Structure 1
Amino acid sequence: MMMMRGMTRSMRAAGLAMLFFLVACDWPLEVPAQVELVAPADGASMSLLPVVFSWQPGDDVAGYRLQLSANSGYTAVVADTSVSGTSVALAVTTDGTYYWRVRAMSSDSVWGSWSESRKVILRRFTIATTLSLPGYSHDIAIQSGRAYVAAGQAGLAVLDVLNPETPALLGQFMDSLNEAWGVAVRDSCAYLAYGYTELIVVDVRRPDSLRAFGELGYLQPGYGYDVAVSDTLVYVAAGAQFVRTNVADPRFPGLSFQYSYPRNCRGVVVEGSRGFVACEQLGVAGWRLDANPPVQVGSMDTPANARGLALLGDRLFIADGRGGLIVAEASDPAAITALGSLELNGYAQAVAVQDTLAFVACGSGGFAVVNVARPEQPRLAARLATPYAAAVAVDGRYVFGCDRDLGLVVIRME
């Protein structure tokens, strides 16, 4: 009491305020313990989506935050999600190496420290094997367990790919004066877009003794780059020409239609009455093939150089050089309409499609796998590095690519 009497009124007021503050304050809030990760294990390789991340539950925890990053410094975060449970499933879009971590939040909204960081590898597409081939490969077709490769100056190479991971060269056909650029196969015949000869028909019934038994050089010389077959008709993208040939008797191909373009015709795809020609700087031309003669009814310009084409139902897929991959609506060749596109590393020059995946040969950019389930928003699913990817085909679980340095490249879909 003597001490209180000796204090000034202001000192007493300050002391009471401090007392009330100490009484009102709670003890410091508890910080959640560091989360213990469960799965995937550090360095695990995954091939199925979605990837499920899980961890041990903590005490008095209201929720968790998971980060997934493309680098170990977490400066390239691809997923940052909060959940109340102890697991989360993420549909990671692109193959590669990722890092993940988790932290807990208490019921008082206090965040704990991050867990350890773990690495996880998403690998749905793997180069299973390669096989060196003669020449520079430009195109590839698959039929009944065999691969047919247009191998440039080395001509046509036929390979056994019945077991795709152990391919074997069966035979070779070569015209030393020309260069094989495109190949299509029907029954026992391989049709080659063969440079200045433009079209050569090769009997492939005996791969160990391949022989040409039909060819066509046109009245106005062109240069055969790509070829497509429909029933008894063969269509050739031949430089400054688009050509149709009747091969009812493949020993005697007969020219039935010829159209001149001011630019290079580099790719062709046909289905029923529809035809599409990739014309580099001129983009893509749409044709009605049931007209007599066939007639170009539409076109679509592209940002770069249209080189390769694939058709799946009403969707046209365009390998557009530096423009990457373009997906277009093409139910009517008179009204080709771009739906979406995706820039890709390298130079997109060939494309093949199966279900919701497009496979693109991108020159020095290797092979790209693109998810096209939503055509207006194509997404990169994987990139496989090779020296110079030139062509691609797909058959079931395997993708068969041509690389000018490696030869045949077999990619396995896990």
Structure 2
Amino acid sequence: ILTVDDDSGDGRASRLEWSCPSSGTYFVMVRHAQATRGTGCYALSIRAVQADDHGDDHLTATPVSPDGTGVSGYIEVPGDVDFFLFSAEANWSYLIRTARLTAEMDTVLVLYDLDGRTVLAEDDNSGGEGASRIEWSAPRSGTYFVAVRHASPEGTGGYELVIERTGYADDHGNDPPSATAVPTDGTLITGRIEVPGDLDYFSFPAKEGGEYTITTGELSPEMDTVLTLYGPDGRTVLAEDDNSGGGRASRIEWTCPASGRYFLAVRHARADGTGSYKLAISAVLRLREVGSFKPPGYALDIWVEGKFAYLVVGFFGLLVLDISDPAAPIQVGSYSTRDYARAVTVSGGYAYRADRGGGLVILDISDPMHPEEVAAFDTPGSAQDLFLSGGYAYVADSQGGLQIIDVSNPRSPRGVGSWATRGYAEGVYVSGRYAYLATGDVGLEIVDISDPTEPQGVGELDLPGEAHAVWVHGDYAYIAGGYRGLQVVDVSDPAGPELIGSLNTRGEAYGLFLAGSYLYLADYTAGLLVLSLADPAAPRPAAEFDTPGSAVAVFVSGDHAYVADREEGLRIIRLM
């Protein structure tokens, strides 16, 4: 007797499901459940079906080795699913595919997480001709599951499943050609030694004579880094360090012998070690004054375009300086003011000047030696600052709030919109569909300018100090807040700006300019302050230079910073 059943069929009927152990003739006996007195009629049916070769769920899954060995399978009946399990190691990559399909077969592969239920990946035909293919990296070590089914609910057919470990999910290249390029501003770069023997390569630009500090930090408990610095050939070792960074962290301080791109490798101190770390490369920024120009009045703003600097000098209007030799700037042109020149922006062969009581003045500077006024627009307030965007000039007009002027034809400007600010508008910056205004003792006001003819206030934030200037970078607005230093505001939601940080400065924060990952701040009596934005939410001092006057504005071009130093004119500072 191989098996017996009474009532597994419908009602009082019987049913046997049985897998044949070997070919041959077998016998079935039918009797009444009441053996001594029962009688009755019945119909007997015997149907042969192919036995299920692999389990239908993760609990009955067939183990498979991820070594590339194929495992045969068959979808015996419509709706059949074959489950498999395999062991995977964290951070390694795996190729899961079907092959050798029978003519009627079209596979679908589904990869499940450790729980056997959460789908991690699914594929139908990436393997070509009905076959499936999944390339995947294991997020953590453990047993994962794969299910194979037919793409058609009615389909059946045979296949071969192959699971192969192909390598590890490397976050950074293992040699100089595949090195990750990183900045030298102190930005934290996350890395991980995923498997024993892994190397992470990085590349960075360095200038001759530049001083650089290279560090690892925020190490995971099992991590112990070793830093190796290579020359531009990627082979010559210039420096190496294990634990100078304190604990298991590394630190290299290095002076660049010649300008070029250098390479850096991070590895674990132990041959069998793994773990995570953060890498930072910081150039030691040096500031040195190389030139200056002393005009007759107060230098209040500066713009650099090519080999010319446009210097705003209050009652004396606009001066044009040839700065081909930053050590010896020469005045080559000028244009007087209608009232009191306060700020300038240059674009498309024109200089746009905020002229306080004279409003907006537009000069043709196609010949920088002979600037010529081509138009003016008298604003209702006192024009303090301006920003050009999309054919419009956005003017911070003090008591006149925000004035929007169409300058698509610079020779015929026309006012199209305005917004009354709560405070006196002193500075303006436009980013996307919003104008950000520094409004004196009120703080920051944000205006939606998606329709310049109908600007709408959307958000504001009272700030300490006196907001003189604003610069927006990503989700952050940086406010020069006078004696209260720099204010950092999260403007990811323009309707709800939020103060998230501040930095007290030695002077009074007046002017701002952002270049690369540095924020340059004109700090009045304290001169020029350079801040690293490696963490944009938390600027940190990188360098400073005390100018002889009162720094109120700064413009950065190339490797020079041009500072409008009020009573001491223009100061030209080399960034080294």
- TM-score (normalizing by structure 2): 0.51
**Equivalent of 2:438 in 278, 295, 301:** 278
Which residue identity lines up with residue 227 of structure 1 in the other structure?
L
TM-superposition CA deviations, 1:36-64 (whole Å, max 9, x none) = xxxxxxxxxx7412189xxxxxxxxxxxx
* Counterpart in the other structure of 1:94: none
Q: Distance in 1 between matches of 2:419 and 2:526?
A: 34
**Equivalent of 2:406 in 246, 265, 281:** 246
Instruction: Quote the RMSD (CA, aligned, Å).
Output: 2.5
TM-superposition CA deviations, 1:2-39 (whole Å, max 9, x none) = xxxxxxxxxxxxxxxxxxxxxxxxxxxxxxxxxxxxxx
* Counterpart in the other structure of 1:359: 520
Which residue identity lines up with residue 168 of structure 1 in the other structure?
I
Q: Equivalent residue of 1:224, what SS? A: coil
Q: Distance in 2 between matches of 1:170 and 1:355?
A: 30
Q: Equivalent residue of 2:398, what SS? A: strand
* Counterpart in the other structure of 1:101: none
The offset of 1:315, in angstroms, is 2.6
> Where does the alignment leave 5 or more consecutive residues of structure 2 unmatched?
1-208, 216-243, 255-283
Which residue identity lines up with residue 375 of structure 2 in the other structure?
G
Q: Is 1:322 aligned to 2:483, yes or no?
A: yes
8 A Cα contact 2:421 2:445, kept in partner: no
Q: Equivalent residue of 1:207, what SS? A: coil
Structure 1 residues 141 and 335, CA gap change in structure 2 (3 angstroms): farther
Q: Distance in 2 between matches of 1:150 and 1:332?
A: 35
Which residue identity lines up with residue 288 of structure 1 in the other structure?
D
The offset of 1:384, in angstroms, is 0.8
8 A Cα contact 1:341 1:376, kept in partner: no
- TM-score (normalizing by structure 1): 0.69
Q: Is 1:373 aligned to 2:522, yes or no?
A: no
TM-superposition CA deviations, 1:355-398 (whole Å, max 9, x none) = 22111111111111111211333211122111211111112221
* Counterpart in the other structure of 1:344: 505
Q: Distance in 1 between matches of 2:299 and 2:484?
A: 23
* Counterpart in the other structure of 2:310: 148
Q: Distance in 2 between matches of 1:193 and 1:172?
A: 16
Q: Distance in 2 between matches of 1:81 and 1:258?
A: 55
> Where does the alignment leave 5 or more consecutive residues of structure 1 unmatched?
1-45, 53-79, 92-121
Alignment of 1:56-75 (within 5 A): none
8 A Cα contact 2:427 2:437, kept in partner: yes
8 A Cα contact 2:419 2:456, kept in partner: no
Alignment of 1:102-121 (within 5 A): none
TM-superposition CA deviations, 1:153-181 (whole Å, max 9, x none) = 11011222344343222211002x51110
The alignment of Structure 1 onto Structure 2 pairs a total of residues equal to 309
Higher relative contact order (CA 8 A, sep 6+): 1
8 A Cα contact 1:339 1:375, kept in partner: no
Which residue identity lines up with residue 248 of structure 1 in the other structure?
S
Q: Distance in 2 between matches of 1:269 and 1:170?
A: 30
Q: Which has the higher helix share?
A: 1
* Counterpart in the other structure of 1:226: 385
* Counterpart in the other structure of 2:276: none
Alignment of 1:12-411 (within 5 A): 47-50=210-213, 89=252, 124-175=286-337, 177-218=338-379, 221-241=380-400, 242-291=402-451, 292-386=453-547, 387-411=549-573
Structure 1 residues 339 and 160, CA gap change in structure 2 (3 angstroms): farther
Which residue identity lines up with residue 239 of structure 1 in the other structure?
S
Q: Distance in 1 between matches of 2:246 and 2:418?
A: 62
8 A Cα contact 1:140 1:392, kept in partner: yes
Q: Distance in 2 between matches of 1:307 and 1:214?
A: 27
Percentage of identical aligned residues: 29
The offset of 1:82, in angstroms, is 5.9
8 A Cα contact 2:418 2:455, kept in partner: no
TM-superposition CA deviations, 1:309-342 (whole Å, max 9, x none) = 1223333221111111122233443232333221
8 A Cα contact 1:178 1:196, kept in partner: yes
Which residue identity lines up with residue 351 of structure 2 in the other structure?
A
The offset of 1:271, in angstroms, is 2.4
Q: Which has the higher strand share?
A: 1
* Counterpart in the other structure of 1:413: 575
TM-superposition CA deviations, 1:124-166 (whole Å, max 9, x none) = 1222221112321111122233222221111011222344343
Structure 1 residues 259 and 334, CA gap change in structure 2 (3 angstroms): same
Structure 1 residues 146 and 315, CA gap change in structure 2 (3 angstroms): farther
Q: Which has the larger radius of gyration?
A: 2
Q: Equivalent residue of 2:512, what SS? A: strand
The offset of 1:215, in angstroms, is 0.4
